[in-house]
A and B are shown apart, each in its own frame.
Chain A
Amino acid sequence: MSERTIVHSSELVVRGLTKRFGVTDVLRGVDLTVGEGTLAAVLGPSGCGKTTLLRIVAGFDTADSGEVAIGGRVVAGPRDALPPERRRVGVVPQEGALFPHLSVAGNIAFGLPRKRRGTARVAEMLDLVGLGGYGDRMAHELSGGQQQRVALARALAPDPALVLLDEPFSALDTGLRASVREDVRQALRTAGATAVLVTHDQQEALSMADLVAVLSGGRVVQAAAPADLYAAPHDLDVATFVGEAVVLDAVRRDDVAECALGTLPVRLGGAAGPRGTVVLRPEQVVVGPRGSGVPARVAEVVFFGHDALIRLDLPGSVPVTARTQGAPPLLADEEVGLSVAGAVSFFPAR
């Protein structure tokens, strides 16, 4: 099996995928391209069809129409679909799903051709996920985080063209989640694998992925690098789903928009239209001393430790939220002045 060591192109291309369960259209034409070696996150609320998309790519479900190609080879098309075992797609399911009757090493070796099972590959994969020496353990002797890492090692062992991860961290508790996330990201990087991570957690998507695709209403509404997605959301829904947002009515004039926070520069691009809304992030709202900008009054301060959210009442407008580093030296009912740093996004009224 020496051709397995040759680097295959492993770009994932999904075109016009649709799927209907009974009367529900779960996917309504999903388009997604994930470049080779990219870690993409498919982000969406519960029930948006993320898992269905992943199952179709893996070959566990069939699409009603559309096409899936991996490394230029169509694995699911209008006519027929390649069975999962011939797609070279590794899968890390939600709860790991380690084979309970096999040891850790047995799990990792499961997908290897018979003659490679006893070789260094298993040890290599264990080292990759930081579990060297755990080969003889049984699945139930591992912690949740370790099980997930073994599941990843098992998926990576046969050198798949693509790895799919289905909410792999949601079963872990918060403290563990961050460290396992980082381990998994490192392992995927080291292996150079193309990977698609499905999650409903926007923090997870933004912090782990090179590319975040927001799935909503059965379609990919925006796919972009995390920073771009956060700074320049494609529409109001994406803006409010990805991170916290300050949403204000506005009137646009050329490159600026007038709203309750004053006249603000609008990020280039986007549809034109005189009336609509502006969206900015709470950390763009700068809270200054009284008289320094738009006058406002502190309604409430919510302290989180590393940062704090300040709810501010503005005359003649909906309240606005600002984010500060650490604890702000502010009291409720204090009068302050607001200004805005950076450009904002403008979305014309529909």
Chain B
Amino acid sequence: MSSDLTVAPSTAPPGAPARPAAPRARRHGLPLGLLLPACLAAVVALLPLAYLAVRASERGLGTVLEVLLRERTALLVLRSLGLAAAVTAVCLVLGVSLAGLVVRTRLPGRRVWAVLVALPLAVPSYVAAFAWLSLFPGFGGFLGSTLVLSLCCFPYVYLPVAAALERMDPAHEEVSRSLGLGALRTFLAVTVRQVRPAAAGGGLLVALYVLSDFGAVAILRYDVFTRVIYTSYRSSFDPTPAAILACLLVAITVVIVWGENRSRGRAGYARLGGGAARQRRRVALGAWTAPALAWCVGVVALALGVPFAALAYWLTRGSSAGFDGAELGAAALATLGVSALGALAAVALAVPVGVIAARYRGRVPRLLEQAAYAGHALPGIVVALSLVFLAVRYARPVYQEVPILVLAYAVLFLPAAVAAVRASVAQSPPALEEVARSLGRTPGGVLRSVTVPLAGPGVAAGAALVFLTCMKELPATLLLRPTGMETLATKLWSQTEIGAYAGAAPYAAALILLAALPTFLLGRRWVPEEKEDAT
């Protein structure tokens, strides 16, 4: 996972000697000012999981086995894995094909497509589910869930694959062509191989998303883990089966996260020399232009067109159905408030972990980072359930109060925040900090005068991303929100549950607007600021 794993150059260009592999990251001297807060973050991140395990095993091994060995449990595992596999397969096809078209061909309007095909990321899966169900009553089940989740998730494959294609050094393909391989064989032997890690990473993200998704499957009434955990918790006085199922779900996601890390770890990329990779030529589509365009139009129509059509339809209907603006305003305010607190908490916990992960090596930094990433494997419903149990037993006063919800957000989105901090710290070379030390600054002074100012914009962007993710969060908010408080997401949920589609539409629209912002920015970042090649 270390970014310093770049392969030692075997051939050095003349005049630029291969540096000895001097370890640039420090090995020791982890300052307490960083270590202690990082440990706190790790404890917070691991707390829900640990407590869930305690709770699940409280009634003894017999109960655990009894729940695990139910026929229904086996069916549940099959259904969840089946849905994850189907959605992942569809997303790989959509994501890789669209990335190839947008990045490597002269598709008409490719800059517009580059943004459009990233936008479905901004449609929360439960909003999409609401849209489809409201337009086509009776929509749902395995096929319905597969369709809706695929249309929401394929950007997870598209974005990294497009980025990998963009980054790829055209020299590799040119060398392959000069060695006598044709265009198609070059694509298969060189291009696909280099894109494979990105696609695999994206695919695993999709699988993870599907396993932890609650809103869409719940609205579409397809019984997978998250929905069953929720109903089992809601409908029974005995929380143990829900806790046991939650643990099983975590076990499955952990396997997937492990797989994702492995696929990322092997995606090495070495490029020698200071020169930037040259711009590549794009493939002319010729007679394939029309089918390619039809493909893009079709995907975007289903992924964006349907939700927007549903919203437009219900919004126009809703104005006559007596829509309460004050209620929407209150929900929006509440959403902004708890999300801001959640983002602040997540970033505050993430800064020490991210700085350590970027700048120090060894067992302790690695463990701290891995602990902080625990939320990555924890579906929202699981974290929520665990914190409910914890609060009911040990912290009654904050049960269904804002702090416990903020804590849930912090646990869930700590990985995103740590990744942002780590990446923005790692971006500036350690030499800058060393120079600052040699100019008389203490480690703390270096952090203040060099590390933080340089990483600041990246960390702020990370905080904004976490903020917007909090706004969309459904399951934890549903279980942990203060009594009487409604956020946009919970309001949409409760209106959809009772079939009040017109009443749900304004909340869905507000959510999409909020969520579109970062996706739009993300999409723009992947579109290179380049001149069209003049040939």
> Which residues on B sit within 8 Å (CB–CB) of A158?
439-440
> Which residues on B sit within 8 Å (CB–CB) of A60?
434, 437
A3 interface contact, C-beta 8 A:
no
Q: Which of A93-101, A183-191, A302-310 contacts B (4 or more CB under 8 A)?
A: A93-101
- For residue B252, give the distance in angstroms from its CB to the closest CB of chain A: 38
Q: Are A46 and B438 in contact (CB under 8 A)?
A: no
Q: Are A84 and B17 in contact (CB under 8 A)?
A: no
Binary per-residue interface labels of chain A (150-179) against chain B in the complex, 1 for a CB within 8 Å, 0 otherwise: 010011001010000001001100100000
A319 interface contact, C-beta 8 A:
no
A91 interface contact, C-beta 8 A:
yes
> Which residues on A sit within 8 Å (CB–CB) of B445?
85
Distance between Cα atoms of A154 and B439 in the complex (Å): 8
Distance between Cα atoms of A97 and B436 in the complex (Å): 10
> Which residues on A sit within 8 Å (CB–CB) of B274?
171
User: Which of A46, A85, A151, A155 touches B437 (beta carbons < 8 Å)?
Assistant: A85
> Which residues on A sit within 8 Å (CB–CB) of B436?
99, 110
Q: Are A170 and B439 in contact (CB under 8 A)?
A: no
Q: State how many residues of chain B have any CB contact under 8 Å with chain A.
A: 30
Q: Is the interface of B mostly helix, strand, loop or mixed?
A: loop
- Within residues 59 to 78 of chain A, which ones have a CB less than 8 A from any CB in chain B? 59-61
B231 interface contact, C-beta 8 A:
no
Q: Are B438 and A89 in contact (CB under 8 A)?
A: yes
Q: Are B442 and A100 in contact (CB under 8 A)?
A: no
A51 interface contact, C-beta 8 A:
yes
| B449 to chain A: closest residue by CB | A110
Distance between Cα atoms of A47 and B436 in the complex (Å): 26
How many residue pairs, one in A and one in B, have C-beta atoms under 8 Å apart? 91
| A26 to chain B: closest residue by CB | B20
In the complex where A99-B432, A100-B428, A100-B454 touch, is A51 in contact with B19 (Cβ < 8 A)? yes
> Which residues on B sit within 8 Å (CB–CB) of A99?
432, 435-436, 450, 454
Q: Are A90 and B17 in contact (CB under 8 A)?
A: no
- Within residues 98 to 120 of chain A, which ones have a CB less than 8 A from any CB in chain B? 99-101, 110-111
> Which residues on B sit within 8 Å (CB–CB) of A55?
22
- Within residues 397 to 447 of chain B, which ones have a CB less than 8 A from any CB in chain A? 428-429, 431-432, 434-443, 445
Binary per-residue interface labels of chain B (1-13) against chain A in the complex, 1 for a CB within 8 Å, 0 otherwise: 0000000000010
List, sorted by A's number, 21 A–B pairs whose CB atoms are closer than 8 Å.
A46-B12, A47-B18, A49-B20, A51-B19, A58-B434, A83-B443, A84-B438, A85-B437, A85-B445, A97-B429, A99-B432, A99-B435, A99-B436, A99-B450, A100-B454, A101-B454, A110-B439, A111-B440, A155-B438, A170-B17, A171-B16
What is the interface of chain A, defined by CB distance below 8 A to chain B? 21, 26, 45-49, 51-52, 55, 58-61, 83-87, 89-91, 93-95, 97, 99-101, 110-111, 151, 154-155, 158, 160, 167, 170-171, 174, 200
What is the interface of chain B, defined by CB distance below 8 A to chain A? 12, 15-23, 274, 428-429, 431-432, 434-443, 445, 449-450, 453-454
Q: Give me the 4 closest cross-chain CB pairs, A-B, nearest first.
A: A111-B439, A46-B17, A84-B437, A97-B431
